[in-house]
């Protein structure tokens, strides 16, 4: 029987600094809640707003799969593997940090705020060679469908990370219904509402709510508002 | 009563380990010692007392088994913790998950 864990928007950890407003679904940095450590291999889901011209200075990472999804504006990325990129809303940045690198991430605008989701997934193997990928989402051409933008076995226009994960995103008209089937036994799905509201496996979710679902292979999704946007993250529950 | 928590952080990337060591020391009652190789980690385990051993960048499963073997003799009460992420994001969480239960 399907198991659920609901994380309401307002229950998330919240850091508000002059340059950064960060809402954290799971424990991260100063936010520590032993009941909110992870959902399977999904360890971090931060909903960040960066002030114009501000960002994260050079800092290290290793052994973590880091996915950044800009929702508004853009991020200027630079790392010690030689990557210098700007990733904007409608694109996704995927970094397998493996054996380690330093990087910085700044708002690409000096005046406008940038909003993005920062997602970390535990890797399947340690100390691999770092890898950087940037992809563009299909946008309007894929409306009312889920688009799998991270999946094992890299295909054109999708990315892969070093874990058995499938990430899908979609924007829907009101009352669109679909069924999501997991790709691998033992995987769970974490649904996060980017905009609007949804009914996911019978649970009503509002903007920025999250729902973890496991011990099932199939779940129903229904959009309850126009231009409703949903992110589904399928990850191993044991890893 | 001394409430210092002594943490041995073992990892093989010097720039990253400098940051990890600095982050540990910046926390109130945590005191970090950094080892940059498996051998150095073993020597430090044999010659010092630690509450936690943090396995960081580059440490393999073989290294972990070897270090654990030394630890069970020289520091049997120490907690072995795998550190992910290489920086401040998860470090405090990983240590608090162990020490807040004590």
Question: What's the complex ipTM?
Answer: 0.92
In a domain? residue A32: yes
Q: What is the CATH number of the domain that holds A173?
A: 2.60.120.10
Interface contact A43-B60, CB threshold 8 A: no
Clarify whether residues A80 and A163 are in a common domain: no
Q: Which residues lie across from A7 on neighbouring strands? A: A210
Clarify whether residues A129 and A218 are in a common domain: no
DSSP state letter for A129: P
Cα–Cα dist A94/A106, whole Å: 16
- Determine if residue A59 is labeled as part of a ligand binding site: yes
Q: Identify which of A29, A63, A120 has the shortest CB distance to residue B57.
A: A63
The mean per-residue pLDDT over the stretch A83-112 comes to 96
In a domain? residue A184: yes
Instruction: Please report residues of B whose CB lies closer than 8 A to that of A28.
Output: 89-90, 93
Cβ-contact A52, A60 below 8 angstroms = no
Residue whose tokens read 């800092």: A59
Split into its structural domains, chain A has a count of 2
Instruction: Determine the residue among B12, B22, B84 to mutate to test chain A binding: the one whose Cβ has the most chain A Cβ atoms within 10 Å.
Output: B84
Q: How far is A120 from chain B (nearest CA, A)?
A: 9
Cβ-contact A54, A91 below 8 angstroms = no
The answer to whether A14 contacts chain B (CB < 8 Å) is: no
pLDDT(A167) > 90: yes
In a domain? residue A76: yes
Q: Identify which of B87, B90, B96 has the shortest CB distance to residue A59.
A: B87
Q: Give the model's confidence band at A155: pLDDT under 50 very low, under 70 low, under 90 confident, else very high.
A: low
Q: What are the tens digits of pLDDT across the range B6-23? A: 999 999 999 999 999 999
Enter the pTM of the model: 0.96
Per-residue pLDDT of chain B (102 residues; tens, 9 = 90+): 678 999 999 999 999 999 999 999 998 899 999 999 999 999 999 999 999 999 999 999 999 999 999 999 999 999 999 999 877 789 999 999 998 865
CATH topology of domain B5-100: Rossmann fold (3.40.50)
How far is Cα of residue B34 from the mean position of the Cα atoms in its chain? 8
Clarify whether residues A181 and A194 are in a common domain: yes
Clarify whether residues A152 and A96 are in a common domain: no
Q: Identify which of B86, B96, B97 has the shortest CB distance to residue A62.
A: B86
B residues 72..91 contacting A (CB < 8 A): 84-90
Instruction: Please report residues of A whose CB lies closer than 8 A to that of B89.
Output: 28-29, 44, 120
Instruction: Please report residues of A whose CB lies closer than 8 A to that of B16.
Output: 60, 62, 100, 102
Cβ-contact A86, A78 below 8 angstroms = no
Clarify whether residues A105 and A220 are in a common domain: no
Cβ-contact A63, A123 below 8 angstroms = yes
Residue whose tokens read 């399907």: A2
Clarify whether residues A67 and A176 are in a common domain: no
Q: What are the tens digits of pLDDT across the range A12-64? A: 999 999 999 999 999 999 899 999 999 999 999 999 999 999 999 999 999 99
């Amino acid at each position: 029987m399907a198991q659920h864990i609901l994380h309401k928007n307002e229950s998330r950890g919240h850091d508000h600094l002059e340059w950064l407003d960060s809402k954290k679904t799971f424990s991260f940095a100063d936010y520590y809640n032993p009941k909110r450590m992870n959902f399977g291999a999904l360890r971090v889901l931060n909903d960040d707003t960066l002030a114009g011209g501000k960002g994260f200075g050079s800092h290290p990472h290793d052994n973590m799969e880091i996915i950044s999804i800009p929702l508004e504006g853009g991020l200027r990325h630079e790392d010690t593997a030689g990557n210098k990129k700007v990733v904007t809303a409608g694109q996704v940045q995927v970094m397998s940090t493996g054996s380690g690198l330093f990087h910085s991430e700044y708002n690409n605008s000096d005046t406008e705020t940038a909003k993005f989701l920062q997602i970390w997934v535990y890797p399947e193997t340690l100390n691999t060679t770092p890898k950087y990928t940037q992809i563009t989402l299909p946008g309007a051409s894929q409306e009312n469908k889920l688009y799998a933008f991270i999946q094992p076995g890299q295909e054109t226009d999708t990315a892969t990370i070093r874990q058995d994960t499938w990430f899908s995103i979609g924007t829907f008209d009101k009352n669109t219904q679909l069924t999501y089937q997991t790709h691998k036994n033992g995987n769970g799905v974490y649904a996060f509402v980017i905009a609007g509201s949804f009914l996911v496996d019978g649970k009503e979710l509002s903007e920025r709510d999250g729902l973890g679902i496991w011990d099932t292979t199939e779940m129903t999704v229904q959009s309850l508002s126009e231009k409703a946007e949903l992110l589904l993250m399928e990850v191993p529950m044991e890893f | 009563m001394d409430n210092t928590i002594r943490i041995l952080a073992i990892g093989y990337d010097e720039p990253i380990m400098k940051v990890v060591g600095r982050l540990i020391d910046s926390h109130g009652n945590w005191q970090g010692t950094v080892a940059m190789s498996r051998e150095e980690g073993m020597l430090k385990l044999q010659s010092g007392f630690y509450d936690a051993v943090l396995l960081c960048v580059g440490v393999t499963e073989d290294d972990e088994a070897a270090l654990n073997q030394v630890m069970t003799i020289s520091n049997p009460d120490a907690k072995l913790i795998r550190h992910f992420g290489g920086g401040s994001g998860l470090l405090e969480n990983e240590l608090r998950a162990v020490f807040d239960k004590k």
